[in-house]
């Protein structure tokens, strides 16, 4: 009897997302990220939920601040390129993706390419939670010529430094 009551009153486990649902989430997130490259401010803003929380190393901001940052960043940087890695994990609520963000600073002409991982949450077909994880030292070291770009290779650190034989134990 107790087992029957537990079955009846126990919360149901959430259903696993279908392949189509996962793909739709991946496409939405990648479309959002590609807006940095294309400069498509209208699509960028349209994909953000009004209650968005954007977290990044050292801070967080809401939707309006992120839309403003998008415009400011596009004025300060050029030749922005997004490279997607091969990771996309989704449980239907949280989605993880890896990519590399590369850009050239307009004022100095110096380029950087930093790999990042993102945890993203969607609500009402829009991004409501977006948390980036990247090493803030990398872009500055690349702009100073202290680290290679390794552009187009999606890893947390430049691959030619991070994956050298003498650094692996």
pLDDT tens string 79-128: 999 999 999 999 988 999 999 999 999 999 999 999 999 999 999 999 99
pLDDT confidence of residue 13: 56
Greater pLDDT, 18 or 15:
18
Q: 70: part of which helix (H) or strand (E)?
A: helix 63-76
Q: Is there a contact between 70 and 44 (Cβ–Cβ < 8 Å)?
A: yes
Indicate the pTM of the whole model: 0.86
Residues with Cβ within 8 Å of 164's Cβ and at least 6 positions away in sequence, in order, are: none
Average pLDDT, whole number, for the chain? Answer: 89
- Whether residue 5 is predicted with pLDDT greater than 60 in this model: the reply is no
Identify each DSSP E strand in 57-165 by its residue range.
59-62, 77-90, 94-105, 111-123, 126-133
Q: What is the pLDDT of residue 164?
A: 62
Q: Any idea what DSSP says for residue 58?
A: T
Pairing assessment for the beta strands 126-133 and 111-123 based on DSSP bridges: antiparallel
- Burial degree of 132 (CB within 10 A; 0-12, 13-18, 19+): middle
pLDDT grade, residue 161 (50/70/90)?
Answer: confident
């Amino acid at each position: 009897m107790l087992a029957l009551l537990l079955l009846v009153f126990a919360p149901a486990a959430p259903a696993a997302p279908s392949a189509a649902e996962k793909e739709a989430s991946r496409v939405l997130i990648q479309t959002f990220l590609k807006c940095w490259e294309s400069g498509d401010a209208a699509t960028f803003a349209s994909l953000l939920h009004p209650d968005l929380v954007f977290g990044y190393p050292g801070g967080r901001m809401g939707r309006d601040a992120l839309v403003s940052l998008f415009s400011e960043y596009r004025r300060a940087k050029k030749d922005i390129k997004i490279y997607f890695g091969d990771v996309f994990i989704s449980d239907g609520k949280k989605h993880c993706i890896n990519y590399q963000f590369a850009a050239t600073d307009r004022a100095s002409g110096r380029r950087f390419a930093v790999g990042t991982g993102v945890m993203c949450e969607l609500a009402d077909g829009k991004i409501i939670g977006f948390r980036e994880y990247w090493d803030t030292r990398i872009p500055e070291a690349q702009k100073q010529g202290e680290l290679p770009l390794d552009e187009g290779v999606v890893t947390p650190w430049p691959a030619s430094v991070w994956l050298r034989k003498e650094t692996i134990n």
